Amino acid sequence: MPEVNELVSLNPYKIHLEIALLRTFVTVAESSSFSVAAERLNKTQPAISQQMQRLESQLGLSLFDKTGRTRQISMHGQKLLQHAHQLLAIHDETLRAVYNNSITGHLRIGAPYDVADTILPMLLSHLVKSAPNIDIEIKIEHSAILMEALHRGEIDMIISTRQDDKLEGGILRTSPIVWFCSEHYRYDRHKPLPLILADGPGLFAKFALKALDQHQIPWRQAFLSSNLIAIKSAIHAGLGVTARGIEALSPDMRILGKEEGLPPLPSISYYLWIRPRTVNPFVRQAYNILRSSFGIDDIR
């Protein structure tokens, strides 16, 4: 592969660095671990790996040297790191300068229960740093209910697991759905699987029941609630097993899988949506901040 200077001298304007990829690269370099970086950025480790592959593809350079199971920042990676901090600082300062005085208003954001203490705080942090003068109102509900509220104009922006071609937005994050239980719970695979389920129009229960039925695994409803706190309490109490996004997993829980005879579950995407013809320009400015910070590619 050519050196950085060779690439730039050959075609300096055809290499476009994505801010979101640079931010991930700096986090990986600072934490010296893809898994730690994934935890800090509220992403999965495969998502971090994919982002770093995209960045290497954009540059045409290897940013990491693999030694056994570990990865070290390569010579090219060290050169990039020297300037990445400056680029990110300039980017963030530019957004603050552009939006600080112009973004003032009330923003209503909706989020589903399972990301209320994971993805949502990360999103709010970026908003407040770039536009500290905004007032934010939060609504925590099921994704289906949030979608309806957004269409009615009762919310300005939502995080949702639902797709809708009538809205404007893109994928904020994709995460695996996993089976998990209390770390002290012991599942007996010879008995029907005791399920802890969420009441309401949820995708997690739909995916879980479909997978169990396809693999002919017997199950029974051990607990039912529409409240995520109650669901977590049931898990801690050892009442059974649930299927949720990995964001809901806490250190005192453990993941179940092939060893327990449970079928694999699909990944789920979290979208950031706004109405395409919103009458409030302030909402679009806030969306553009998040779109730039998280590298969201618009679906429509």
pLDDT at 7: 42
Is 1:77 a contact under the CB 8 Å cutoff? no
Verify that 87 and 111 share a domain, yes or no: no
Tell me the DSSP string of 182-229.
ETT----TTS-EEEEEE-SS-HHHHHHHHHHHHTT--EEEEEEES-HH
Q: Which of 201, 200, 202, 204 has its CA nearest to residue 212?
A: 204
**Does pLDDT of 300 surpass 70?**
no
pTM higher than 0.85:
no
Residues 209 and 234 in one domain: yes
Last residue of a domain, one of 79, 99, 119: 99
Residues 199 and 81 in one domain: no
112 in the same domain as 89: no
Which residues on neighbouring strands pair with residue 65, listed in sequence order? 72
- Indicate if 67 and 123 belong to the same structural domain: no
Task: Express each pLDDT in 212-239 by its tens digit.
Answer: 999 999 999 999 988 888 998 999 999 9
**pLDDT: which is higher, 17 or 147:** 147
Give the closest residue to 15 by CA, choosing from 80, 72, 64, 75.
80
Provide, rounded to the nearest whole percent, the portion of the chain with pLDDT above 90. Answer: 31
Mean pLDDT, range 76-80, rounded to an integer: 89
Q: Which of 99, 119, 140 is the last residue of a domain?
A: 99
Q: What is the pLDDT of residues 27-67, one digit of tens each?
A: 888 877 888 888 777 677 888 888 899 899 888 889 998 77
Residues 55 and 193 in one domain: no
**76 and 140 belong to one structural domain:** no
Question: Total domain count for the chain?
Answer: 2
Q: Above 60 in pLDDT, residue 21?
A: yes
Domain that holds residue 82: 4-99
Shared-domain flag, residues 114 and 94 = no
Distance CA 210, CA 56 (A): 38
Q: Which of 99, 124, 141 is the last residue of a domain?
A: 99
Domain check: are 56 and 201 in the same one?
no
Quick one: 215 and 275 in the same domain?
A: yes
Together in a domain, 86 and 170: no
Is residue 13 scored above 70 in pLDDT? no
Q: Are 113 and 134 in a shared domain?
A: yes
Supply the CATH number for residue 146's domain. 3.40.190.290
Kindly report the average pLDDT of the chain as a whole number. Answer: 84
Q: Give tens-digit pLDDT for 232-269.
A: 899 999 999 999 988 788 888 999 988 889 999 998 88
How far CA 173 is from CA of 46, 149, 237, in Å, comes to 12, 22, 30
The rounded distance, in Å, linking the Cα atoms of 152 and 81 is 46
Rg (CA), the chain: 22
